[in-house]
Chain A
Amino acid sequence: MGILIFALRRFLLAIPTLLGLLIVTFILANFMPGDPLARLLGDVGGSNPETVAAYRAQWGLDRPLWEQFFIYVGNLLQGDLGQSTFTRRGVMEDLLSFLPATVELGVAAILFAGIIGLALGSLAALFHNKWPDFLVRAIALLASGVPVFWLGLIALQVFYLQLGWSPGPEGRLSSRVNPPPRITGAYTVDSILSADSVAFWDSLAHIVLPAAVLGAFFLGLVSRMMRASMLDVLKAPYLMTARSKGLNTRTIAQFHVLPNALIPTITVVGLAIGGLLAGAVLTETVFSWPGIGRYAVDAAKALDYQAILGVTLLIGFVYVITNAIIDVVYAALDPRIRLGS
């Protein structure tokens, strides 16, 4: 099976799931407490039956449920996720303005965890059952059980209060620094693109600690996975073949060990994207990071249901799509998957 056909099939498979996501958020919207009309109209309008009927007709609430669902999907396709009651803006508009901060944080966390985790995992495998191995396993173990919000506060205690190495939980930039002009939405990237060195260093200083905290769970995951798959590869017959052919260590590491050990690691990292988004909700709360996680928490506290549903839908959507992409990448990396069953 060609990789294109595989990709096509995999993305077609995602469509029913996406449809399911819409149904779930639609059901949730209908279960949200209180009549949305009463909230829209306030006490005065809500007590007048004629006004209520007029509004019901206008918003299609007098139609059968399945028809309402199609209206909901129709609005969605036009980019309309409803109004947020606490920012008083469109939810879609809100999400688009908060998303870049989360993406920036998430990518930074994955880079941090990926690079250090791969190094630690390989180290542990190469020094199997020696002290570096035990150290890496202890780190991975702690990372699997530590509450991310707690780790964030501890990190602030140490690196901000005690050592003074890191800025406090004040978001993406110090208040005295102007944000760079919006190009990608990621401050670190935008400040490079606009050659603003002050904003670059300031935004970099602000992202290090939250990214490390958010990435901690991944760090454990990656190093554990890399260690296990590398140990497995080191035992593989093709490695013995490579050695007995007299290839040098570097060639073996580069062409035989790394590519094979990386495949499961990459897949697992991809799978954990959902966990990353969940962690972002907590990390952003701790560091006052203005991303969609913090937006979701603020919305939940303000009982802003449209906004919560918007975030839920967005995160579910991101998760389904990334899962599909990872499967395709995986198939591209590993011919056994696309040629097999």
Chain B
Amino acid sequence: MGVTMQSPDPKTIRLMTVDQNSSTPASRARGLLVAARTSARSLDFGYYIGLLIIVAWAVIATTAYLWVPFHPTEYQDVANRLAAPSATNIFGTDELGRDVFSRVMAGAQLSLPIALLTVAIAGVVGSVIGAISGFVGGMVDELIMRVCDVILSFPAIVLALAIVAALGPNWFNVVASISLVMWPEYCRLMRSQVLSIRTNLHVTAAISVGCSPTRVFSKHVLPYGLPAIMVKATVDLGMVILITAGLSFIGVGVTPPTPEWGAMVSAAQTRIDSWWLVVFPGLAILSTVLAFNFVGDGLRDKLDPQLRGGNAKGASAKSMLQRIFLGQRKTKETPA
């Protein structure tokens, strides 16, 4: 991948850079970070493993309460508290005698929807504002970009900490505060997509044959901008799971007794000699985050219209799904 600064490879830079139009060198280097991730792995293998893990967690999240051996919150066997993993409690029991396995499985039911909802809100709001910013330009653009700069100056967890502390700890406020912190990233990404795509010949052609601005946007710009947003959204799902777990860990996210991975690790903090209380919820977090990272990187490769050949059609929902699941990619490299 193009890591050289002065001549970013036009083929790769489109999906790689978060904001190639930004004025600071540091923001340009953010794209390099992404490029480095991609080149660092063999994509396809990890992509399918990741997809498999995500599907597995999604199934667990939707069905866990139907088949877990013990009820995640109500079943408490105090006589059998802090028991090491055994045949009945394969992940052991916690300080109240609850079954850790059941709780870890049930935790998916909370973490995954929170992540999905957060990324959906941040992605849609950010993309819309970013598209406006890129299309309208001028003062509006300038103002939106400055607002983004400001919000991006806070590490997500710190601003979320302040907001959740103000609003009170529950899952809804976690979603609200993380999406509030996250939308500027989508805004910048969408804006840079719009700015670079709208100079393409096919857009000029569409405008010159008299397409309305809405049509130009929805038919000729958005389909090309969407893949980058989807790639970012996938990786961010893992990010949000990490942040949510972190907030719950420090006690301002989802609070006990709700089974949440971060909160479970937090409860185990004073009992590090009972290793199973720490290890299993953590592995759940780690596996989902890594899976989303894998899939995000794989998607970057599969969805990049620039890699798909000269007659790129943009991304219809169908073709996108095809590429996500069938992994058809790199049919022909576009000549630079």
Contacts and interface: CB of A to CB of B under 8 A. Distances in A.
Interface of A: 10, 13, 16-17, 20-21, 23-24, 28, 31-33, 137, 140-142, 144-150, 153-154, 156-157, 161, 221, 224-225, 227-229, 231-232, 236, 263-264, 267-268, 270-271, 274-275, 277-278, 281-282, 285-286, 296-297, 299-301, 303, 305, 308-309, 311-312, 315-316, 319-320, 323, 326-327, 330-331, 334, 336-337, 340
Interface stretch (B68-76, B93-101, B262-270, B312-320): B262-270
A300 B161 contact: yes
A145 B286 contact: yes
A219 B186 CA distance: 27
Given A145-B289, A271-B30, A330-B29, A232 B149 contact: no
Contacts of B40: 137, 140-141, 224, 227-228
Interface string B284-328: 011001100100000000000000000000000000000000000
Given A268-B33, A277-B155, A303 B165 contact: yes
B249 A20 contact: no
Contacts of B2: 232
Interface string B246-271: 10011110000000001001101100
Interface string B123-161: 000000000000000000000001101110111111101
A105 B275 CA distance: 26
A153 B156 contact: no
B208 interface: no
Which residue of A153, A263, A264, A286 has the most chain B CB atoms within 10 A of its CB atom?
A153
A336 B158 contact: no
A264 B5 contact: yes
A300 B159 CA distance: 11
B238 interface: yes
Interface in B2-34: 2-6, 23-26, 29-30, 32-33
Which 9 interchain pairs have the tightest Cβ spacing? A20-B150, A150-B282, A228-B36, A278-B155, A145-B289, A300-B165, A267-B29, A145-B290, A232-B3
B161 A296 contact: yes
Contacts of B250: 149, 281-282, 285, 297, 300
B272 A144 contact: no
A309 B158 CA distance: 10
A10 B166 contact: no
A336 B153 contact: no
B265 A153 contact: yes
Contacts of A153: 265, 268-269, 272, 278, 282
Which residue of B23, B37, B153, B278 has the most chain A CB atoms within 10 A of its CB atom?
B153
A161 B272 contact: yes
Nearest to A33: B166
Given A275-B155, A282-B250, A327-B26, A336 B5 contact: yes
Contact of B158 (A148, A228, A278, A340): A278
B147 A264 contact: no
A338 to B, nearest CB: 9
Contacts of A146: 286, 289
Contact of A228 (B3, B146, B159): B3
B105 interface: no
B33 A271 contact: yes
A264 B25 CA distance: 10
A166 to B, nearest CB: 12
A17 B161 contact: no
